A and B are shown apart, each in its own frame.
Chain A
Amino acid sequence: MTTNTPQVPSSASVSRLMLHVGYALIPGTAAYVWLFGSGVLIQILLACVTAVISEGVILMLRKRPVLQTLADGSALLTAVLLALAISPIAPWWIIVLGTAFAIIFGKQLYGGIGYNPFNPAMLGYVMLLISFPLEMTLWPAAFSLLEHTPTLQTSIDVIFNSGLGIDTVSGATPLDAIKTQLGQGLDIPTTLISPRYGDLFGSLAGVGWEVVSIGFLLGGLYLLVTGRIAWQIPAAMLATLGILASVFYLIDSSRYISPLLHLFGGASMLGAFFIATDPVSAATTPRGRIYYGIGIGVFTFVIRTWGGYPEGLAFAVLLMNMAAPTIDHYTRPAVFGQRKG
């Protein structure tokens, strides 16, 4: 028996890290519930139960410690992120299928936490988006845009009862509306003042969505300040997205959406601080993380602007996941003593 140094007490742990990421999601999630109804909470609950069951079953099959592994909290975090990424009014089987796919195929079959090359939540999301485009693109409208404020019962009906009453709660998302209108040859200024879509837009981005984004931004800043996520990824991603959007907006504001809408509409804030920063699938060198963030910013902008989907973040993250090992290889820092000076 040998005792290895160092022997100093350490409070660092994976579950603590995951817990704090969970805390940081609270402001955004609270805003989401407040402005779009309790559907989000139902989705989160469904996702968590699915994640625990699928991870537990696979761990048993793989003959790995079940409780100890579940306690790291990573499966729950994947579940919550996926639940926040999909529409709160999607039918229950969407989130169940997506979470099970994310945990089983995205994570456990690669060997569990630490070995998955792709962000499991984004893998689940993209699988759902490709397989069930209809369910995945039906989004709720903010309460302020609805005639009747939906109740918890409405959410339960919508999710569990084959979308009963879904017409009373759904509405177009800002990015979606602009994409649709541009497809019909209508430019953005027209959309912004059109009777059908005009109310969708608030002072920064979409009504409701902008508040949710600010909530995620606050949570993300908490993680940054407490040193729980690397600053390089969110900074590089948001800066790239903002700069690209500004350049194109300045070139032609009738065809390209504003940088504010890019940053505060859609999933930019959630993606920048909570999804792109998943350390397992991201680049790990300090310089590499900057390139990684830039890449996500570029792909997000390109897919949103010229791609077939209104939101490109999930694809951007997966594409950069693939590039991460290469980025790491070429961005090794100079070891102390190997520089001149």
Chain B
Amino acid sequence: MTTASPKIFNFHGGLYLDEHKSVSTSRRIETAPIPAMLVLPLSQHIGAAAKPCVAVGDTVLKGQLIAKADGRVSSQVHASSSGKVVAIEQRAVPHPSQLKAECIIIETDGRDIAIEQAQTGLANYHSLSTNELRQRIHDAGIVGLGGAGFPSHVKLKPNGHQVETLILNAAECEPYISCDDMLMREQAPAIINGLRIMQHALHAKNCMIGIEDNKVEAFIALQEALGQSDDIEIVRVPTRYPAGGERQLIYSLTGKQAPSQGRPLEIGIVCHNVGTAAAVHNAVTKAEPLISRVVTLTGSGIPQPRNMRVLIGTPIDDLLAHCHANKADIGRTMIGGPMMGFAIDATASPVTKTTNCILVTHQRDIQKPATALPCIRCGECADVCPMNLLPQQLYWYAHSQEFDHIQDYNLFDCIECGCCDVVCPSRIPLAQYFRFAKTAIWQQERDTEKSNKARQRHELRLERLEREKIEKRERHNRKKAALKKEPDQKEDPKKAAILAAMKRVQEKKSTTGITPGNTDNLSAEQQHKIDEANARRANLNKNNNKNGP
């Protein structure tokens, strides 16, 4: 039991926002019906998209693997219910870009027959090695359910680092969202067990749960689930947005700052979300893959806001219809909270593993976006920035598109929490400017890389041409040099021969006037050889005569 209140480190800035959470926490988590169609995107996570391992026309069962993880940072996709694969095609998915993405479409048969999993659930996870645990988590297709969707098995690998503290992020700081809160109230033991499994996988020394102090019921439920054990410390943090930002929560609990542009693992800390812990528990103890999640359906466009356990792949339209949301009244549908979420036009998009909240605003509550006035450098934004940035300066450079300067002011440390927007008296959409600047810089870097490659190619070609030119010239020079030397030997010989011949003729004429015979002027040796030859010939003739007839 945690009774003593540990020291809380206060992060810079932040905002006290209207919570709007209680509207969706008065009912228990409701199970959404099986939809007629399941739309399962191949990429519901950070990393490479999964590769389909079923074909159109295949019959699939609930929990059956339908797309395999492709590489280390990727995740499996399972059928959320039984039915038939009717298409594998591009469909609208919940993404800020509003672009379509490849999805497996399953026409459900309503029977919801589960597949026999190869592995069985294990109550005692200690019997598994950490690698086997990670493999199970990988096979279950678990990704970070807090919203980022990073494959959990990757985040459960210490990679040579000693993990000091495993932190369970139960802060859920964005307004309206209450899915983690409700999950903690109703499934605290599963979350605690999932957390212990993750601690085991990471060999983490300490384990902490960071929960905002507005979630009293959830806090009590966690404490009850923990009972007398003291292996996990539950810490209440002030309800100040963005208390649930990973870096902010780590700082609040430990006083340590995760390195800028680095990962918390580098300072021995790993952070996971409560929904992920529950999914890990299901995967290990029940051998259940991740095929459903809790989603908050809230906002003024939903008559009775609530939390629902929804099969992954359920079209948002089905959920809106189930909640009796009048489509004509809907002014805006957002995925996620009002601070960091994004609006979607296509409500046919499915719920994915990372869809924590569907925030529907009635059209009467849609405010016309305020006209932005020039920045007056009042610095309110810097006062509330939880990363201690200077948004007024970032804005200045984003506005003038001076992307070198904006990086000097640490643009890439911005977590896009949107605090600066809320306090800006000039109503400048600052976070939007920063997102734009980041995208533009990434694009620029890709272009630079492309042009670097092109330049390298070009330079190599120039080099090759130059080399060939030099070689050609050298060859030519060699030839030329050879030509220059040869004339002394080539042209002269004729003349020399003529001259020499003429000289010999003259000499002959002047001395004897008679051409000497072949056997004149013989040396002694030559004479000796001639004598020998003559002797042999004489001998041969003599023998021939003897043997002759």
Which of B10-18, B211-219, B319-327 is near enough to bind chain A? B10-18
A130 touches B (CB below 8 Å): no
CA distance A336 to B385 in the complex (A): 10
Cβ-defined partner of B393 (8 Å) among A2, A7, A74, A284: A284
Which of B128-136, B369-377, B483-491, B531-539 is near enough to bind chain A? B369-377
Residue contact B338 to A14, C-beta cutoff 8 Å: no
Residue contact B338 to A5, C-beta cutoff 8 Å: yes
Residue contact B382 to A286, C-beta cutoff 8 Å: yes
Please indicate which of the listed interface residues A9, A111, A336 has the most CB atoms of chain B within 10 Å of its own CB. Answer: A336
A189 touches B (CB below 8 Å): no
A183 touches B (CB below 8 Å): no
Residue contact A332 to B256, C-beta cutoff 8 Å: no
Residue contact B341 to A17, C-beta cutoff 8 Å: no
Chain B residue with the shortest CB-CB distance to A112: B374
Task: Digitize A111-129: 1 where CB-to-B-CB distance is under 8 Å, 0 elsewhere.
Answer: 1111100000000000000
Please indicate which of the listed interface residues B257, B345, B367 has the most CB atoms of chain A within 10 Å of its own CB. Answer: B257
Q: What is the CB-to-nearest-CB distance from A20 to chain B, in angstroms, rounded to a whole number?
A: 11
CA distance A7 to B17 in the complex (A): 12
Residue contact B247 to A113, C-beta cutoff 8 Å: no
Residue contact B257 to A6, C-beta cutoff 8 Å: no
Q: A13-B427, A341-B256 are in contact. Are A336 and B387 (CB under 8 A)?
A: yes
Q: What is the CB-to-nearest-CB distance from A225 to chain B, in angstroms, rounded to a whole number?
A: 15
B431 touches A (CB below 8 Å): yes
A62 touches B (CB below 8 Å): no
Cβ-defined partner of B257 (8 Å) among A12, A280, A339: A339
Q: A3-B343, A279-B379, A335-B387 are in contact. Are A10 and B427 (CB under 8 A)?
A: yes
Chain B residue with the shortest CB-CB distance to A289: B379
Task: Digitize B421-460: 1 where CB-to-A-CB distance is under 8 Å, 0 elsewhere.
Answer: 1111111010110000000000000000000000000000
Cβ-defined partner of A279 (8 Å) among B96, B257, B367, B376: B376
Residue contact B374 to A113, C-beta cutoff 8 Å: yes
Cβ-defined partner of B380 (8 Å) among A12, A111, A115: A12
B409 touches A (CB below 8 Å): yes
Residue contact B423 to A12, C-beta cutoff 8 Å: yes
Chain B residue with the shortest CB-CB distance to A12: B425
Q: What is the CB-to-nearest-CB distance from B332 to chain A, in angstroms, rounded to a whole number?
A: 6
Q: What is the CB-to-nearest-CB distance from A234 to chain B, in angstroms, rounded to a whole number?
A: 14
CA distance A341 to B413 in the complex (A): 17
Residue contact A12 to B427, C-beta cutoff 8 Å: yes
Please indicate which of the listed interface residues A4, A17, A111, A114 has the most CB atoms of chain B within 10 Å of its own CB. Answer: A4
Residue contact B247 to A14, C-beta cutoff 8 Å: no
How many residues of chain A are within 8 Å of chain B by beta carbon? 41
Number of A-B contacts (CB under 8 A): 141
CA distance A222 to B11 in the complex (A): 27
Cβ-defined partner of B390 (8 Å) among A2, A7, A72, A284: A284
A334 touches B (CB below 8 Å): yes
CA distance A113 to B425 in the complex (A): 13
How many residues of chain B are within 8 Å of chain A by beta carbon? 62
Q: What is the CB-to-nearest-CB distance from A312 to chain B, in angstroms, rounded to a whole number?
A: 25
Residues of A contacting B377 in the complex (Cβ-Cβ under 8 angstroms) = 114, 279-280, 282, 284
Cβ-defined partner of A68 (8 Å) among B247, B334, B371, B382: B371
Residue contact A4 to B380, C-beta cutoff 8 Å: no
Q: What is the CB-to-nearest-CB distance from B46 to chain A, in angstroms, rounded to a whole number?
A: 20
Q: What is the CB-to-nearest-CB distance from B266 to chain A, in angstroms, rounded to a whole number?
A: 10
Q: A2-B343, A4-B431 are in contact. Are A285 and B378 (CB under 8 A)?
A: no
Is chain B's interface secondary structure helix, strand, loop, or mixed overall?
A: loop
Q: What is the CB-to-nearest-CB distance from A80 to chain B, in angstroms, rounded to a whole number?
A: 17
Cβ-defined partner of B374 (8 Å) among A4, A114, A334: A114
Residue contact A9 to B367, C-beta cutoff 8 Å: yes
Residue contact A14 to B373, C-beta cutoff 8 Å: yes
Residues of A contacting B342 in the complex (Cβ-Cβ under 8 angstroms) = 2-3, 5
Q: A14-B425, A68-B371 are in contact. Are A5 and B431 (CB under 8 A)?
A: yes
Residue contact B410 to A335, C-beta cutoff 8 Å: yes
CA distance A118 to B57 in the complex (A): 73
A-facing residues in B355-412 (Cβ within 8 Å): 361, 367, 370-371, 373-380, 382, 386-390, 392-393, 409-410
Q: What is the CB-to-nearest-CB distance from B336 to chain A, in angstroms, rounded to a whole number?
A: 8
Residues of B contacting A284 in the complex (Cβ-Cβ under 8 angstroms) = 377, 379, 382, 390, 392-393
Residue contact B247 to A6, C-beta cutoff 8 Å: no
Residues of A contacting B526 in the complex (Cβ-Cβ under 8 angstroms) = none
CA distance A5 to B434 in the complex (A): 12
Residues of A contacting B336 in the complex (Cβ-Cβ under 8 angstroms) = 5
Task: Digitize A6-47: 1 where CB-to-B-CB distance is under 8 Å, 0 elsewhere.
Answer: 111110111011000000000000000000000000000000
Residue contact A332 to B409, C-beta cutoff 8 Å: yes
Residue contact B257 to A336, C-beta cutoff 8 Å: yes
CA distance A50 to B223 in the complex (A): 68
A185 touches B (CB below 8 Å): no
A338 touches B (CB below 8 Å): yes
Residues of B contacting A74 in the complex (Cβ-Cβ under 8 angstroms) = 376
Cβ-defined partner of B260 (8 Å) among A115, A289, A332, A338: A338
A333 touches B (CB below 8 Å): yes
Q: A112-B374, A280-B377 are in contact. Are A8 and B260 (CB under 8 A)?
A: no
Q: What is the CB-to-nearest-CB distance from A151 to chain B, in angstroms, rounded to a whole number?
A: 41
Residue contact B431 to A7, C-beta cutoff 8 Å: no
Residues of B contacting A282 in the complex (Cβ-Cβ under 8 angstroms) = 377
Q: A2-B343, A284-B392, A285-B390 are in contact. Are A8 and B175 (CB under 8 A)?
A: yes
CA distance A113 to B378 in the complex (A): 12
Task: Digitize A152-183: 1 where CB-to-B-CB distance is under 8 Å, 0 elsewhere.
Answer: 00000000000000000000000000000000
B110 touches A (CB below 8 Å): no
Residue contact A337 to B257, C-beta cutoff 8 Å: yes
Task: Digitize B247-261: 1 where CB-to-A-CB distance is under 8 Å, 0 elsewhere.
Answer: 100010001111111
CA distance A138 to B332 in the complex (A): 63
Residues of A contacting B341 in the complex (Cβ-Cβ under 8 angstroms) = 5, 7
Q: What is the CB-to-nearest-CB distance from A108 to chain B, in angstroms, rounded to a whole number?
A: 12
CA distance A279 to B376 in the complex (A): 6
Chain A residue with the shortest CB-CB distance to B264: A337
Residues of A contacting B379 in the complex (Cβ-Cβ under 8 angstroms) = 230, 279, 284-286, 289
A328 touches B (CB below 8 Å): yes
B313 touches A (CB below 8 Å): no
Residue contact B12 to A336, C-beta cutoff 8 Å: yes
Q: A14-B376, A339-B257 are in contact. Are A4 and B425 (CB under 8 A)?
A: no
Residue contact B413 to A337, C-beta cutoff 8 Å: yes
Task: Digitize A271-292: 1 where CB-to-B-CB distance is under 8 Å, 0 elsewhere.
Answer: 0000000011010111001000
CA distance A18 to B374 in the complex (A): 14
B36 touches A (CB below 8 Å): no
Q: A284-B392, A341-B255 are in contact. Are A7 and B334 (CB under 8 A)?
A: yes
9 contacts between A and B (CB under 8 A): A1-B345, A5-B343, A10-B424, A13-B370, A114-B376, A334-B388, A335-B388, A337-B258, A337-B413
New A-B pairs, 13, CB < 8 Å, besides A279-B378, A339-B257: A1-B345, A3-B332, A3-B342, A5-B418, A6-B422, A8-B18, A12-B380, A113-B374, A284-B390, A285-B390, A328-B393, A336-B12, A337-B413
| Interchain residue pairs A-B with the least CB separation, the first 4 | A114-B374, A6-B418, A3-B343, A337-B260
